[in-house]
Structure 1
Amino acid sequence: MGKVGKIARRSFLIGAAAVAGGVAFGVYKVRTPYENPLKNDLADGAATFNPWVVIDGNGITLITPHGDKGQGVAHAQAALIAEELDVEFGQFQIDFGKPDKAYWNRALAADGAPFMATDESFAAEATRGVMGGMMKLLGMQLTGGSTAMPDSFDKLREAGAVARETLKLAASTKTGVPVAQLKTAQGAVILPDGSTLAYTDLAAEAAELEPVTDIRLRAPAQWRLIGKPMNRIDMVAKSTGTLAYGIDVDIDGMVHAAVMCNPRQGGALLSYDAGAAKGMRGVQEVVEVTGGVAVIADNTWRAIQAVQAIDAEWGEAPYPAEQEDHWAALEASFNETHLDKEWRNEGDVSAALASGKAVEAEYRVPYVAHAPLEPLNATVLVEDDKVTVWTGHQIPRMLQDLVAKITGHSAAQVDLVNHFMGGSFGHRLEFKHVELAAEIANQMRGTPVKLTYSREEDFAHDYPRHIGMARGSGAVKDGKVIAMDLEVATPSVVASQMGRAGVTVPGPDMQIAAGAWNNPYGLENFRMRAYRAPELAPVSSWRSVGASAGGFFFDSLLDELIHEAGADPLEERIRLMQHDVSRKVLEAVGEMSNWGSPLGPNKGRGVAFVESFGVPTAEVIEVTNTEDGITIDKVWVAADVGTVIDPVNFENLVQGGVVFALGHAMNSEITYSDGMAEQANYWDAEGMRMMQCPEIMVRGLENGSAVRGVGEPPIPPAAPALANAIFAATGQRIRELPLYHHVDFV
């Protein structure tokens, strides 16, 4: 394993590409580490070795800065540090830490570079290097894009190893025993005679030393935790209802707020009458906020009831009022004026389409809500010299900037106390609820204000998954697929989401084409074009972002072509696959599902493959067509993440992703009428019921060269695999989501 501080190939590429491209940063600046933020408030006798480890006489604290929204990332980060630090679960506590540039996300550049994940060419690596350097200089601290584990895998193990070796040096200094004769285990340094010195007893000595950075990471054969089944550190607290989420914050002197904003997203508040609300029990004040009005009361229930009693007049929506107009806007976007980028053009697609039997189809996916279980919430205290925010968020440093603009403070004066999140799926990448809480608290300086959205407000002001449409054609010949031409039109999720944060992102939006352009098949003739539709309803990242739509578009068309060719759906995918790691994923899911074995009457199997966030994922779904509708019987999933950190959490995360994806594919959508979302609560956007949940078998492969995350990759293949299975069982080809418009589920 390489040593910390040595120049890696990636570091060289960063510098070389930066100089060649004339970028205003170079090797020195990119390689210079940020100051350790834990030194700022370090108590006497406490030792910190890097931004992730603090030890004092009372205990060990591991900083896990990636936000935990149910995916187990706090646990996984702690496990990576603990692996090298030689501490066991139960010997330390975790803390999300304060926002800081030191926690910049190294892995963001990989999925943001306009190259396929399978492309390891010099140009691809150089571009990723430059983008990685930019992420560092921006101090981009973000949890999303399934990057938490790719970002953490090396640096958190290094953090644990640095702390371990420094503690050994402290023990050597204290006892006179050479470092080479010392070992570590279970939170202690072990002397040659078998006696031990607890890390907590060495903190004062370690605090006087410079951290030891000449370290080596342990080989996989030596791992105690990584790759082994673990009990998640948050599971007991979650199971007993004692884990503190943002919604559980309770500050002395706190008041409670609820908002009602224009249900036409971005529309104005024209007028309102709060007379009835002001006379309701517990109501203390009514104030205006951007686009709406807020009630402050002595508890959340009373605040929500009162704000709903306000009679308001709202302005028009800044987007088409009716759902059919949204579809019409997409239909009108398939032209050169709206061409965002031609991502692939290989072979001679036009000639191939003319030479073989053609298939033509149009596909649609709707807006979809995030709808996490924990409603949006934030508690804010504005003081003259400081602002404190208690919430769960995925982009903490950007949150600081936006709150500071509202209150007139500097970003450094905004303190975020980050919390566990009760789900997100992209929802807590947004800032509006925190900005509204800051607006209210700024009008009530000195008083902590807790804003909680009602479920209806959460639905009405969600920024859903973007709507999309695809048009595809293809050709088959001699029992094989020989050509595919796919065009996708969606609004830009990046422009919409980042625009609300005041950030302009130049260039094509990769998320329009995600899940379609980046497939690693070796089609002889393949063209993929992305069209940027005009901005419609405001949209945001939704679990797997563009791949959730693009995967459905691409794989559905491919399945139609394979059927037209008379080929086996799995065997033809394997034949076309040119990426060895992805081919093994397809072969694995075929083995798991016993593909090709006889099925009973009215049964069908469908297979789908999508690569997203660098993770090749294949799913086989088996269904039965009953008199009452479709039952989903079994699902098999194979995914390659390079290294599985915790096989138990991996399995649960994949299974949960499948349930999430299937429920939305079956039932969920957001539609607009009079500029307002027609769905207001869970019963309007129903997911999968427990009685509908299939048996889900999971296999994690480790053939890939890079460590990847698996929070999002199980989502994209689920919808096409289900649609393909329904076709296999019924002969009915469904080309739009949600599927309930065409079949019933039981």
Structure 2
Amino acid sequence: MSRAGTIARRTFLIGSAAIAGGVAFGVYMAKKPIPNPLLDDLKEGEAAITPFVKIDASGITLITPRADKGQGAYSIQAYLIAEELDIDPATATLSPGMPGQAYYNGTVLSEGAPVPAYQEGFVAETLRDFMAVPAKLFSIQITGGSSTVPDGFERMRLAGATARETLKEAAARRMGLSRAALKTREGAVILPNGTEIAYTDLAAEAAEIDPITDVALRPASEWRYLGKRDLPRLDILRKSTGTEVYGIDLAFPDMLHATVRANPAVGAGVARYDASAAEALRGVEKIHPVTSGIGVIANNTWRAFQAAEALEIEWRKPDYPGNSEGIFTALEEALGDPDHYDHRQRNEGDVDAALGADGPTGDIVEARYRVPYLAHAPLEPMNAVVRVREGQVEIWTGTQIPVFVRDRAAKIARVSTEAVKVYVLPMGGSFGHRLEMTHVEQAVELALAVPGRHLKLTWSREEDMSHDYPRPASVAAARGKVVAGKVVAFDLSVSQSAMAPEWFGRLSGMSLPGPDATITTGACDQPFDIPDYRVTGYRAPSMVPVSSWRSVGASSNGFYHDCFLDELIHAAGADPLAERIRLCLHDPSRRVLEAVGEMSGWDGPSLGAGRGRGVGFCMSFGVPCAQVVEVTQTEAGIRIDRVHVAVDVGEVLDPTNLEAQVFGGVIFGLGHAMNCALTYEDHAPLETNYHAYEGMRLYQAPKIEVRALSTGSRIRGIGEPGVPPAAPALANAIFAATGQRIRELPLNKHIDFV
């Protein structure tokens, strides 16, 4: 099917869904202003001029609704508001607020439009705008997809500007002056004679004024904070002194503690259990069934853990393969099977003709790849505090999906959503893990058994890793052709279980119709102009339940696509960097490739005997990212020496944090490519703690150099794009140094590292 035909089909499906829901209603609701949720419980003297700014006599509160899981989301959101509000955000209180429609994330859905990020123009932008509409209609408040900055870049600055101008209007009315005659500085309105009136002194009057929404945003040349190097993270003091309060730190007087043991075959449930030994242990207060498992309530976490281990449980068996061998067999069987065909978003030229006997004379290259399941494994295991009393449910937890958490808790407790309060806490990592809410469901079920008490549920490390909804395992088959030193044909097929429908089904109870784009994301959307070019996704049966992992489909497809492109370039006898640049059809991506070549002093993949370097490129979340990894083959194994990285996010708002995010993405990508896999036996992963799931060690960390370009046409996020190119760049570097082409992750199955 042609690319245009695929887009048309996807567009029709989207349009049909809209018609089914009522187009007129949809358009009306999409344009309808969202009520300000902060107005619901304002106290006397408080002003909530926008959903993001609340002011009273004691100070200013900035609402930063995108969750902070270590990536600096609270800080950058506060700076976006403060830049226009004209305050030092360090003087404000930051709060994620209560979940609600006002904090919907349109970008996270618009990036799922069936057009690659490098395509612009009217049709592409219309599709992206259309995809954002359901986010508003259905209150899709999600932190993910590297969307915090692009989604908030204008909205949060406008919120700050609206608050600023409304406060000026309050001062103007008080003083009988024109608003145009007033200025602002450091949280105060400045009168023409230099007199300052603090925002906090104007709160009551501002609360009586309709917000001034006809505002202009300040040009970048006037920014005080955004774009400045060494912009201080607003949480740096707490995190440096150990005073940040994560969910796992939270405590209330007379609080109960709980943990669970759930079926390692996630969702399969309990056949029978014997709790007599557990009930006899000191401090145990109650043994209570939860969905798919058994919960233990005790007077501290350690005693709950000990009692959980003492439970004798017979688990039910699911109907999917119980071990990794059977899982990969199922993935291989689905690959190329018409009954498992899911989608083909890229199909240019005539690949079958190019690779057939009558095609141009050249060399055919074939390869097969595979990647394993991967755990998220954040340092802070999943936890939640819940109290149920008098028809009200209160939840304290780290989550990326607070509206879904609220709605599911209401359903379990049989109360209205208005009766549920979700207090989102800072998170000790996530990498996509906290896009799930099983732990909150369990905590609510257990809290219902002890009404009126705060109950804190904590998963053990083993429970966390064995109930992780991992990154999907997948396999790929590739064929291509080179003619006269150039890549002319590229055909990649990928097989994996459907991630997005499974995940959305768990959250909403509804299945997503249509194809699952994550099966080929990171491969079908790369900015290369190859004459005969095809990428096909095959949906394998649902097996181990899977979820988003940092960079989602690009985490595996970036490895497949770029490694096979490197193989084709090698077969053509071309230079790995020069041929990528020649094939590139997207100016910002080409500049990123050129920049990484300049940074690394590129003059070919060889660096001398036993040394080599590899290029890795992947465009993910609209961000072109190119990496050059340099390695040395020692007697003990491969040493990673240096990594050069070039990215383009359109506008760099926080240069220091951008570098930190790219550093983290590179280390994350390299460490998992080197060492990490979840291996299944009897429906359970064998790797359930860090000793068996080892990322990159500190002594293995290479020197990393980052360069950020700003040539893209729109602003992008950077939390994930540093991950996908790391694995192919490392694999390509190993080939350059050793001549060994490795097509399976983790790489340590085939080579040692030092």
Q: Which residue of 2 aligns with 1:433?
A: 439
Structure 1 residues 586 and 155 mapped into 2: Cα distance closer, same or farther (>3 Å)?
Answer: same
Are the equivalent residues in 2 in contact too, given 1:18–1:25 (CA < 8 A)?
A: no
2:397 counterpart of 1:391: yes
Match of 1:358 in 2: 364
Q: Counterpart of 2:10?
A: none
After superposition, residues 214-229 of structure 1 pair within 5 angstroms as 214-229=214-229
Aligned to 1:407: 413
Moved more, 154-163 or 113-122: 113-122
Report the CA distance between 1:129 and its aligned residue.
2.2
Give the counterpart letter for 2:216 in structure 1.
R
Where does residue 593 of structure 2 map in the other structure? 586
SS in 2 for 1:308: helix
Q: Could you tell which deviates more after superposition, 195-204 or 414-423?
A: 195-204
Q: Secondary structure at the match of 1:332?
A: helix
User: How far is the alpha carbon of 1:165 from its aligned partner?
Assistant: 0.5
1:316 deviation in Å? 1.3
RMSD: 1.7
* 8 Å Cα contact 2:110/2:130 also seen in 1: no
Equivalent residues in 2 for 1:362-373, closer than 5 Å? 362-373=368-379
- Residue 146 of structure 1 is matched in structure 2 by 146
Distance 1:716 1:138 in 2: 31
Does residue 708 of structure 2 align to residue 700 of structure 1? yes
CA distance in 1, matches of 2:340, 2:23: 30
Match 1:672 to one of 680, 689, 694: 680
Q: CA deviation at 1:705?
A: 1.1
Contact 1:18 1:24 in 2 (8 A): no
Deviation at 1:416, TM superposition (A): 0.2
Gaps of 5+ in 1: 1-13
Aligned counterparts of 2:21 and 2:594: Cα–Cα separation in 1:
42
Structure 2 equivalent of residue 682 of structure 1: 690
* Distance in structure 2 (CA, Å) of the matches to 1:185 and 1:625: 58
1:168 alignment partner in structure 2: 168
| Structure 2 residue aligned with 1:269 | 270
Q: CA deviation at 1:20?
A: 13
Amino acid at match of 1:579: H
From 549, 571, 577, the equivalent of 1:564 is 571
Deviation at 1:360, TM superposition (A): 0.3
Deviation at 1:22, TM superposition (A): 6.7
1:516 matched residue in structure 2 = 523
1:272-297 CA distances to partner (integer Å, 9 max, x unpaired)? 22222222221111111122111111
Distance of aligned partners of 1:18 and 1:337 in 2 relative to their CA distance in 1, 3 Å threshold: closer
1:251-304 superposed Cα distances (whole Å, 9 cap, x missing partner): 222100011111222222122222222222211111111221111111111111
Per-residue deviation, residues 485-505 of structure 1 (Å, max 9, x unmatched): 111111100122122221211
TM-score by length of 2: 0.95
Alignment match, 2:317: 316
CA-to-aligned-CA distance 1:535-592 (integer Å, 9 cap, x gap): 0111010001111011111001000000000100000000000111110111111111
Task: Spell out, residue by residue over 1:411-459, the C-alpha distance to the aligned partner (whole angstroms, 9 max, x if none).
Answer: 1211101100111111000011000001101111111110000001111
Tell me the residue number matched to 1:527: 534
Instruction: State which drifts further: 187-196 or 375-384.
Output: 187-196
The 8 Å contact of residues 562 and 617 in structure 2, kept in 1 or not, is answered as: yes
Distance in 2 (alpha carbons) for counterparts of 1:27 and 1:701: 37
Give distance in 1, aligned partners of 2:338 and 2:666: 37
Q: How is 1:215-614 mapped onto 2 (pairs within 5 angstroms)?
A: 215-229=215-229, 230-333=231-334, 334-353=336-355, 354-355=359-360, 356-501=362-507, 502-596=509-603, 599-614=607-622
Which whole-Å CA distance do the structure 1 matches of 2:121 and 2:173 have between them? 48
Do the aligned partners of 2:529 and 2:583 also contact (CA within 8 Å) in 1?
Answer: yes
State the distance in 2 between where 1:104 and 1:267 align: 33
What CA distance in whole angstroms lies between the structure 1 residues aligned with 2:470 and 2:172? Answer: 57
Q: Equivalents in 2 of 1:446, 1:47: separation in Å?
A: 33
Give 5+ residue unaligned stretches, structure 2: 1-13
Contact 2:638–2:752, Cα closer than 8 Å, also in 1: yes
Take 2:371 and 2:20, find their aligned partners in 1: how far apart are those partners? 42
Q: Which amino acid aligns with 2:234?
A: I
Which residue is 2:9 aligned to?
none
> Given that residues 267 and 318 in structure 1 are in contact (C-alpha distance below 8 angstroms), is that contact kept between their aligned partners in structure 2?
no
Instruction: Judge conservation of contact 2:616–2:725 (CA < 8 Å) in 1.
Output: yes
Moved more, 116-125 or 458-467: 116-125
Alignment partners' CA distance in 1, 2:635 and 2:23: 64
- Comparing 257-266 with 728-737, greater Cα deviation is found at 257-266
What letter is aligned with 2:182? L
Residue 121 of structure 1 and its aligned partner are, at CA, apart by 3.5
Distance in 2 (CA, whole Å) between partners of 1:22 and 1:281 is 59
In structure 1, what is the equivalent of residue 76 of structure 2? 76
Bigger Cα displacement from structure 2, 72-81 vs 252-261: 252-261
Q: Distance in 2 between matches of 1:458 and 1:28?
A: 43
What amino acid maps onto 1:37 in structure 2? P
SS at 1:285's partner residue? strand
Moved more, 454-463 or 267-276: 267-276
- Matched residues, number: 733
In structure 2, give the amino acid aligned to 1:412. E
What is the aligned partner in structure 2 of residue 712 from structure 1? Answer: 720
* Offset from partner CA, 1:701-724 (integer Å, 9 cap, x none): 111111111111111111000000
Q: Structure 1 residue 18: deviation in Å?
A: 6.9
Preserved CA contact (<8 Å) 1:98 1:416: yes
* CA distance in structure 2 between the partners assigned to 1:205 and 1:401 by the alignment: 36
- Return the alpha-carbon distance in structure 1 between the equivalents of residues 103 and 203 of structure 2: 23
What residue in structure 2 maps to residue 89 of structure 1? 89
Task: Say if 1:461 and 1:357 are closer, same or farther in 2 by CA, change over 3 A.
Answer: same
SS of the aligned residue for 2:439 comes to helix
Secondary structure of 2:640 counterpart: strand
- For 1:240, the aligned partner's letter is T
- Output the amino acid matched with 2:154: D
Distance in 2, Cα, partners of 1:214 & 1:191 = 21
Q: In 1, are the aligned partners of 2:502 and 2:511 still within 8 Å (CA)?
A: no
CA distance in 2, matches of 1:24, 1:713: 38
Secondary structure in 2 aligned to 1:81?
helix
Any conservation in 2 of the 1:484–1:526 contact (CA below 8 Å)?
Answer: yes
| More moved, 499-508 vs 616-625 | 499-508
Moved more, 602-611 or 344-353: 344-353
Structure-2 separation of matches of 1:27 and 1:316: 47
Using the TM superposition, name which of 79-88 and 202-211 deviates more.
202-211
Q: Distance in 2 between matches of 1:24 and 1:205?
A: 38
Q: TM-score, normalised by structure 1?
A: 0.96
DSSP 3-state at the match of 1:162: helix
CA separation in 1, counterparts of 2:283 and 2:343? Answer: 56
Task: Report the 3-state secondary structure (helix = DSSP H, G, I; strand = E; otherwise coil) of the residue aligned with 1:316.
Answer: coil
Q: Report the counterpart of residue 7 of structure 1 in structure 2.
A: none
Matched residue, 1:721: 729
Matched AA of 2:466: A
Deviation at 1:24, TM superposition (A): 4.3
Q: What is the CA deviation profile of residues 502-530 of structure 1, one whole-angstrom value per residue up to 9, with x for unaligned ones?
A: 12111000000100000010111101111
Instruction: Look up the equivalent residue of 2:120 and give its one-letter code.
Output: E
CA displacement 1:605-643 (0-9 Å, x = unmatched):
100111111111111100111111001111111111111
Partner of 2:124: 124
Following superposition, the deviation at residue 41 of structure 1 comes to: 1.3
Aligned partners of 2:81, 2:390: CA distance in 1, in Å?
A: 38
Q: Secondary structure of the equivalent of 2:25? A: coil
Return the alpha-carbon distance in structure 1 between the equivalents of residues 25 and 125 of structure 2: 17
- AA aligned to 2:88 is E
